[in-house]
Structures are given as C-alpha cells and as structure tokens.
Amino acid sequence: MGELILVRHGETEWSASGQHTSYTDLPLTARGEEQARGLAPLLARFRISLVFTSPLGRAVHTAKLAGLGEARIDPDLHEWDYGGYEGVTTADIHRTRPDWNLWADGVPPGVPGHPGELPEEVGARADRVLARVDAAIRDGADGADGADGADGDIVLVAHAHFLRVLTARRLGLPPAAGALFQLATGTVSRIGTEHGHPVLVSWNHAP
C-alpha cells in the first residue's frame, strides 16, 4: 500500500499577510507559483496513482504547476470556512477576543452561504475524504482497473487548516489536534503505515 501525500498550495497574497482565506479564491503570487513548480522534482520521486485537489484555484493551479497531471476535484477538500473571519488576521481578532482560538472556538457566521465551521465539522469533511482514499486503496489492492484503483501513492492538494485536521483524523486524533501540525505553503507531507497503523513519515517538507 502506498502513502498519503499532502500538498499545501503555494503562497497567495493573504497567506503571506496572515489573513484567513477560505472561499476567497485568490491566485498564487509569483513566489507561490515558484513554490509550486519547485515541488515537481520532489513529487516525481513517488509512484502516484491518484491525485485529488480542492476546487479552489490556488490548489488546482498548484497541482498543475507541480506536474501532477489529471487531478480529481473533491469539494470536501476546500479550506475551513472561516465565516465572519474571512480576510481577517488572528492579530486583528485578538484585539476584541484576546482568548480566541480557532481550534477551540470556531468562527462566527459570515456572509450568506458561509456560516463558518467548527473543528468537528471540518473533521467530518476530512473523514469523508479519507473514506474515499481508503476505498481507492482497496480497489487497487483488489486488482481493480488502474483508472479507478490506487495501488501507489495518493496525493491530496489542499489548504493548511484542512490538511492539519485531516492529518489528525488519519492518526486517530480529534479534529482540534490539527493545532499540533504547523503547515507552510508549498510543502509536501507524508502519512504512511507502520505495522498496519497510520504514522507520520515526513512533515512540512519544502524542496
């Protein structure tokens, strides 16, 4: 069985400034594009069977620049919905809520269609993604056609907070334990297995 490879998209203007960015579909900066291209030699070392990406442009563009070829869009890979804190920095939030913590408190509602999410809600999406990953792995192990089965590594191209929650869930931890896994732009992380149990193989690796 292959590994689960997590790719955080390259830098955007708001990731550089520390503004919370979920549904605002900002493009990669020039540095972000450079980061994405720099991932290609690293990712070429793996035997990749399937690639799933967030529907947001910064993730899709990162996958393309990183040479990942055909990627399946998975809506559940979108970033944590920050609701009323979209575009706001943690420093600004702490001016009125000094004890606020995303992982414990979630976010207030935002504009219509973006009510914000609690850690448990993001965790539920992560669990759905992981169920699809596991189904693809089983298909590959059963000798299914390579078009749908995965007998190599599976890549997920997405966003920092979502991937942190997904990592926690893969390791059997609660969603809020994603707070333990800092994740920079334009990085690759790997989750494998040891004695049949998920383990962190490498984290936050940049070329």
Active site amino acids = 9, 79
Rounded Cα distance between 126 and 76, Å, is 7
Rounded Cα distance between 171 and 138, Å, is 19
Q: What does the block give as tokens for 177?
A: 């334990």
Q: How many of the other CB atoms lie within 10 Å of CB of 166?
A: 28
**Rounded to the nearest 5°, which phi and psi values hold at 98?**
-60, -25
Residues facing 13 on adjacent strands: none
Q: What SS3 state is found at 148? A: coil
Closest CA to 206 of 188, 181, 183, 192: 188
